[in-house]
Structure 1
Amino acid sequence: MNGGFDFDFDLDELAPADAASEEAVERFWSGDLTALSQHHTTPNGSHSFVLAHDQSTTWGIPGAPQVMVIAVARDLTQFTYTLETSHHATVSFAQNWLVERGCPPEEIAEIHGGSLKPADGLTVWVERQIRESGTRYEVLDNHTSDSDPSETWTLTRDSRAAEAPIRVFHEEWDQGTGTYTMHEGAFADVDAARSWLDERNGPLPLPPEYRGEVNILRSRAALSRSAGAATARKTGPDVPRTSPAGPVRHPIQGRLM
């Protein structure tokens, strides 16, 4: 079930199943959270999966991930529960975390109240690949930028890659056109990936296994961006924009109404 959510996990009659769950509940505070998507299982509401934007991180450590996920599992025969939380730089990696804990991918795929949309088919393809990748990607580092450039990146190791196993997933947001892109780059080692992230001296190197449809999608993405830019110059964007003198909205906040 998706829709409005008040972060009431209905745990009053249940006890934490372990120390980690007890600590997680004690730390948990929903005041800075905005729910983006959720799913609750039936019958008896045994599991809850929530994806949210955590605004508290915007005034914390610079670059900290701002997407929070929560997984609750209730044992209604033992009157206990487990509760886990995790932070991620991008929605797609957050969704992957929830899927690995039993959430059906299709139930957590839609982000509610979003105003920014994928710019092209390649972005949709890459996000779905991450969401349904299981334990394929080991996350090594990530970074979120609130201001120019408005972006996130996630540095990973791809356990299935025969070549260039270090992968960078770069997500870039365009508030003016109301869209965002997600691209995957492949590197031989972590140093090469960090060098690209520091210098940005060219496009992301295409993963060697990209073939056929993905190359077509990449070409269409370039055409779509060109057409979108021309349309924007003629008609202007049809999404809410911040005033030039106002604050820059965080990418995740840009998806909210």
Structure 2
Amino acid sequence: MLSPTEPASARKPIPHVDFELDDLDSDEERYLDFYRKVAVHADMLVPLAEHHNGPHSYYVLFDRTATWGHPGMAQVLAVHLQRDSEKQTFSFEWAPLPLPAMAQSWLIHRGCSPDAISLDPQLGPPPADEATRALERRLVGDGDQYAMGHSYTSDDPDDMVIVVVLRARDEQAPSPFRVVVEEVDTERWTRTLREGGFDTAGEALQWCNDRLTGEAGPLPPVRLAATAARPAGAAKAPAPHPPGRSR
């Protein structure tokens, strides 16, 4: 999460995002659609990660205008561009998501190499501990196993927090609803990421509401499946794309 409260010592020059569409003569409707959904605030989009592979470009973008939008709205955009140089056209998919790790997962499941979409470590607060790094890796790698049901982003300097409710696609999964919470320590300029498990969507949403009002108790632990965990590197069955928007 980036913020105007970021300490000066942690800042670096903000890079510019270039979608490289100037040479494409696509139809006006598609250009307008891309402009309205993505490029309207191009000068306020910060590329946290990007990768270009032939006609494909993948972006994890922080939208600095979101802080002035609807309260709680997600501040990260995942964008996948496909260019056709012969036809001089392009197509795109996009999704607003609350966490960069979720945007990385969304792009990976649209063909981006997992090793090519790492976040710029100089943008935003670094992970505070190994638990945060481990959970982020799981969100990036196994994000297709969950569907996002709710999120709220608060960039209040006194309590910078993002809460996300995820639903397991496997209806038999223990703790079928997960709450993921990112908190930013503005004094140390670090972030922590934690998760909890819930039996119902109502319980998960209530915990999120309580957290945003400062009344939440500890996150309940995630119940693990009784079967052995899938070995690292083992193939997974194809899963449907996480929810997103496309054009």
What's the TM-score, normalizing by structure 1? 0.72
Total equivalences in the alignment: 206
Structure 2 unaligned blocks of 5 or more: 1-13, 227-247
Q: Which residue of 1 aligns with 2:94?
A: 85
Partner of residue 23 from structure 1, selected from 30, 33, 36: 33
> Cα offset for 1:124?
0.8
Check 1:163–1:177 CA distance in 2 against 1; reply closer, same or farther (3 A cut). same
Q: Which residue of 1 aligns with 2:69?
A: 60
Q: Which runs of 4+ in 1 moved over 6 A?
A: none
- Shifted more, 153-162 versus 167-176: the winner is 153-162
Q: Which residue of 1 aligns with 2:152?
A: 143
Check 1:118–1:134 CA distance in 2 against 1; reply closer, same or farther (3 A cut). closer
Counterparts of 2:225 and 2:183, CA distance in 1: 21
> Cα offset for 1:79?
2.8
- Shifted more, 178-187 versus 100-109: the winner is 100-109
Q: Which residue of 2 aligns with 1:116?
A: 125
Note the alpha carbon deviations across 1:20-58, whole angstroms, 9 max, x for none. 6651235422021122111111xxx31111112111111
Question: What residue identity is the alignment partner of 2:61?
Answer: A
> Cα offset for 1:189?
0.4
Counterparts of 1:156 and 1:17, CA distance in 2: 37
Q: Residues 132-171 of structure 1: matches in 2 within 5 Å?
A: 132-147=141-156, 148-160=158-170, 162-171=173-182
- Tell me the percent identity: 31
Check 1:16–1:186 CA distance in 2 against 1; reply closer, same or farther (3 A cut). farther
- Shifted more, 148-157 versus 12-21: the winner is 12-21
Contact 1:18 1:82 in 2 (8 A): no
Question: What residue identity is the alignment partner of 1:156?
Answer: L
1:37 aligned to 2:49? yes
Counterparts of 2:121 and 2:79, CA distance in 1: 17
Counterparts of 1:93 and 1:107, CA distance in 2: 15
Structure 1 unaligned blocks of 5 or more: 212-257
Q: Which residue of 2 aligns with 1:10?
A: 20
Check 1:130–1:20 CA distance in 2 against 1; reply closer, same or farther (3 A cut). farther
- Please state which structure has a larger fraction of its residues in helix: 1
Q: Residues 199-210 of structure 1: matches in 2 within 5 Å?
A: 199=210, 200-209=215-224
Contact 2:198 2:204 in 1 (8 A): yes
Contact 1:67 1:88 in 2 (8 A): yes
1:176 aligned to 2:187? yes
User: Which protein has the larger Cα radius of gyration, Structure 1 or Structure 2?
Assistant: 1
Q: Secondary structure at the match of 1:40?
A: strand
1:194 aligned to 2:209? no
Counterparts of 1:168 and 1:133, CA distance in 2: 15
Question: What residue identity is the alignment partner of 1:31?
Answer: D
Report the aligned-residue RMSD: 2.5
Q: Secondary structure at the match of 1:202?
A: coil
